[in-house]
């Protein structure tokens, strides 16, 4: 997808700032980085989908009608930015912390997003399956995998940073996954910014890629 302009997300940024003053879901020190560090970071998943699964991506012609769980959404990341650019996909944003779900719901309502529902629960408590699971910085891959194992038809798409190789190795070993089910994509191949130098989208698929 074309790298969006901050102005396109001005209303969302204003809503997050307003709610962050009441319920802290983004570090106050990082409020000025809402667009680059949170919205653009979230949209790396849309770019990944557009590159590797064009029919599921954020391009206007995609027409995707996928169901997507945002695991541990916090204040709505990555789910709300993705819902904004993927209007035909249906998003379920879940988190076990009620006040964070309140913020995500308020931002989604404020933006008039009809393809978002926010639920206060653990992922294991959702009694439904999804095409995709997206998540950002919730837990290690090894820890989060059993929370949604058997609940997604396509893949988990996780935003991760740091030593992802060791996390992937631990995941593959513990759950006896085929290494071909895993794909790692560098976000800085799309966003040429030092902030994203060690940040990745990790795909964990149900079958070899």
Percent of the chain with pLDDT over 90: 84
Domains and CATH numbers, the chain: 6-205 (3.40.50.150)
For the segment 96-135, what is each residue's pLDDT rounded down to a tens digit?
A: 999 999 999 999 999 999 999 999 999 999 989 999 999 9
For the segment 36-55, what is each residue's pLDDT rounded down to a tens digit?
A: 999 999 999 999 999 999 87
Q: What's the distance, Cα to Cα, between the start and end of the chain in Å?
A: 22
For 16-25, letters b (16+ CB in 10 Å) and e give beebbeeeeb
- Which among 74, 65, 73 is positioned nearest to 20, based on CA atoms? 74
Q: Find residue 132's DSSP bridge partners.
A: 68, 155
């Amino acid at each position: 997808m074309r790298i969006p302009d901050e102005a396109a997300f001005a209303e969302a940024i204003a809503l997050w700032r307003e709610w962050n003053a009441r319920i802290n879901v983004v570090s106050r020190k990082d409020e000025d980085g809402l667009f680059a560090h949170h919205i653009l970071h979230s949209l790396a998943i849309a770019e990944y989908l557009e590159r590797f699964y064009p029919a599921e991506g954020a391009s206007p012609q995609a027409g995707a009608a996928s169901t997507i769980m945002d695991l541990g959404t916090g204040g709505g990341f990555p789910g709300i930015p993705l819902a904004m650019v993927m209007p035909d996909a249906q998003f379920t944003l879940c988190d076990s912390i009620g006040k964070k779900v309140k913020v995500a719901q308020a931002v989604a309502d404020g933006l008039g997003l009809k393809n978002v529902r926010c639920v206060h629960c653990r992922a294991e408590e959702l009694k439904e399956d999804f095409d995709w699971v997206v998540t950002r910085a919730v837990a290690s891959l090894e820890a989060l995998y059993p929370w949604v194992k058997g609940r997604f038809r396509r893949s988990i798409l996780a935003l991760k940073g740091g030593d992802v190789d060791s996390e992937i190795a631990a995941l593959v070993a513990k759950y006896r996954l085929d290494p071909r089910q895993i794909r790692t994509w560098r976000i800085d191949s799309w966003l040429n910014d030092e902030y994203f130098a060690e940040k990745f989208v990790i795909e964990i698929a149900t079958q070899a890629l």
